[in-house]
Structure formats: C-alpha cells, structure tokens
Amino acid sequence: MSSNNNYPPSLSVGSAKLMQREGKSDWLKIELDLTELEQKQTDDHIRTWTSKKDGVTHRVITLICAEMKPENKTEYKTHSLKIDTFKPDPSKRKSSRTESSRGDSVGRVKDMFAPGADEQVPF
C-alpha cells in the first residue's frame, strides 16, 4: 500500500462494535490494540496531571471512537479507535474571569432579587 504524503500517518489503535440490545441502551465494545498504541503514541499525545486530592500523578491519552464509513464496516467492526492529536491554539484561549467580573455579576444578581438591599444580603 502506498502512502500519501498529504495525510498524516494513521493513528488507528483499535476498533469498536456498536452493541444493540433490545429494550436496553446501546454501548460500544472496544478493542484497544496495545501494541499499536505503544508504537504510535508520542510524548505530545500524553497529558500528565497531578491530583490535588492525593498528589498522584496521572498519565492519560485521549482516544476518539468514530463510526466507520459504511464501506469499511464489518460484522465485527463498526467504529474506529484513534489517538486524538488535537491541541488547542493558546492564542484563541478565552481569558479567565477576573475577580472583578465575578463581583459585577454578584452585584447584578443582588439588584435583580433585592434592589436597594443593604450589605447584609448573604451573597
């Protein structure tokens, strides 16, 4: 099979099958190929975070489970499982709310529900 330079390499690491049961909700049966995952993952696919609760460091990878095109579906595979490579553009990130904007919101709520009330309002 020849590779097309216009597309990134396939990051497919498994498959899934839509399981339908009469009278019950649908679910996906996922087969994750650990060999493919180990070969295809890179450091920038892995996100690390530390729990504030217990200090445990977690390493996670995000996967996308998407329905296959009709011509690629089989009796055993209806969905593909791929590594998610999306990285948000930091320049488009919304700035976090400032404390003053929170204060403005609280003031508007006070005016809506207790106009003219003094500072003893509990919020």
Confidence band, pLDDT 50/70/90 cuts, at residue 16: very high
107 assigned to some structural domain: no
Mean predicted lDDT score pLDDT of the chain: 82
Please write the tens of the pLDDT for every residue from 40-51. Answer: 999 999 999 999
User: Does a structural domain hold residue 59?
Assistant: yes
Number of domains in the chain: 1
Q: Tell me: the pLDDT tens digits for 64-104?
A: 999 999 999 999 999 999 999 988 888 887 765 555 555 66
The answer to whether position 91 is within a domain reads: no
Cα distance between residue 77 and residue 74, in whole Å: 5
User: Would 119 be classed as within a structural domain?
Assistant: no
**Which structural domain, as residue segments, surrounds residue 72?**
12-86
Residue 104 lies in a domain: no
Distance CA(76)–CA(31), nearest Å, equals: 11
